[in-house]
Amino acid sequence: MENDAQKPDEGKEEALNNNIVHKEKHTDDVQKEKEVQIIPNKFKRRFENSFTNIFFLVCITGISLGILLEIVNVVRRNQKPEAAIATDKASNLNPKYWMYPNTKAINSRDDFLKHVHVVLERVGYEKSTNETPWDLLWSHPNPFIDINLKKLSGNQKVNHFPGTGFITCKVELATSQSDFIPKAFRLPNDKDDFLKYAENNKDALFVQKHNNHRNVHLKNVTEIDLSNNKTFVQEFIQRPFLVDGHKFDIGVYVVLESVNPLRVYWYKGDILFRFCPTKYYPFDPSNVDKYVIGDDYLPTWEVPSLAHPYTALGNTMKETFDIYARSVGKDTTKMWQDVQAAITEIFIMKESIIDNHFKAYSSPENFFEMMRFDLIVDENLKVYLLEANMGPNLSSKHFPPNQLLYEQVLT
């Protein structure tokens, strides 16, 4: 009984013990759960602290870079004016040129003075105006009537010479006494001499020319207006040397650099050959394309016998002509000597006249003149000087292959 009485109590105690055990287990589970919760919280706080540090580091780096860039910009801004000044100084060292007259065509780099602009700028000249200090005036017409050029600085140059009009004026040149110039007569002053000469040379033909510009017509003596004081008459060379039936003229470029002493340079790199567009025979005086060379002339490379040596073989126009002349049994050696002699004679003849014109100018060193002398040859290669062109055509607009010649002449 006693043992039985104790059993209920033992059962209670066992249950109690069991409750303690469960409580302890429960407590342990709760503790573990707390620890599990605490550990993630610690990692979270560490991550947040690391992100904050990185953010501050990025900000500091960005600010530092911004400050550094601003310092660089300040330095550059301080240096830029100095660089600009240096550029201005370099620009001011370039020689300046200006063109006359001040027209769109003259100033255009795509018009008839294109190669003048190209070459001047290639050798270092800078386009300017006469309103600022200048080194070179390039004038298409004679500038001495319109512009006062009597007192120039030592560094200033003008592409015309005072007094050279006595060479480039057609009537002045034609009436100069030279064996290289066909006989010519001023009208009306020399009309009696002309009529006498025509009477003594009945087979002679004559062209009537304007004193200053193109206007050439072959006329009978009875057709010539002897009272026209703006023209002159000149004997016509009837039997010219022909290439493939075409008459031609020879353009020689020269530069007058000085008169006292006399210095003239002849460009020998090449010669301009221009051919009449229509064959000379059968001759017709009413068709000027047979005997007058105009703007629409026939170029060397379109003359059948000259095309191959010029285009395919790369000869100059002068060399090409010499090759053709030799092929027909002609020696051009004396012809070229006479060309030089004819041009030299004219400068010697006009030297004193040009020199007298310098008395009104500060120095002859300020001037130079480029001209093109036009000559023809007869069937025996005898040379005749026809005219000298002031401000000769330097445009390759009609004939692009002439660009090389023009730019070589200018250089």
Nearest to 156 by CA among 391, 327, 310, 368: 368
Of 76-80, 156-160, 289-293, the poorest mean pLDDT is in: 76-80
For 167, what's the count of Cα atoms within 13 Å in the CB-facing half-sphere? 34
Phi and psi at 149, nearest 5°, equal: -120, 25
Torsion angle (degrees, nearest 10) of CA 164, 167, 170, 171: 100
Q: What span, in angstroms and rounded, lies between the C-alpha atoms of 162 and 180?
A: 25
Q: Name the pTM for this structure.
A: 0.78
The pLDDT score that the predictor gives to residue 72 is: 60
Residue 348's pLDDT is what? Answer: 97
Alpha carbons 147 and 132: distance in angstroms, whole number: 15
Contact 176, 170 (CB under 8 A): no
Tokens of 246: 């075409």
Local confidence band at 10 (pLDDT 50, 70, 90 cut-offs): very low
Residue 116 has pLDDT above 60, yes or no: yes
Spatial distance between the Cα atoms of 263 and 253, rounded to a whole number of angstroms: 14
* Tens-place pLDDT, residues 193-202: 999 999 999 9
Of 211-220, 246-255, 261-270, 301-310, least confident by mean pLDDT is 211-220
Going from N- to C-terminal start, the domains of the chain cover: 1-93, 96-158, 183-236
What H or E segment, with its residue span, contains residue 239?
Answer: none
Average pLDDT, the chain: 85
Contact between residue 252 and residue 375 where contact means Cβ atoms under 8 Å apart: yes
Question: Do you know the residue count of the chain?
Answer: 411
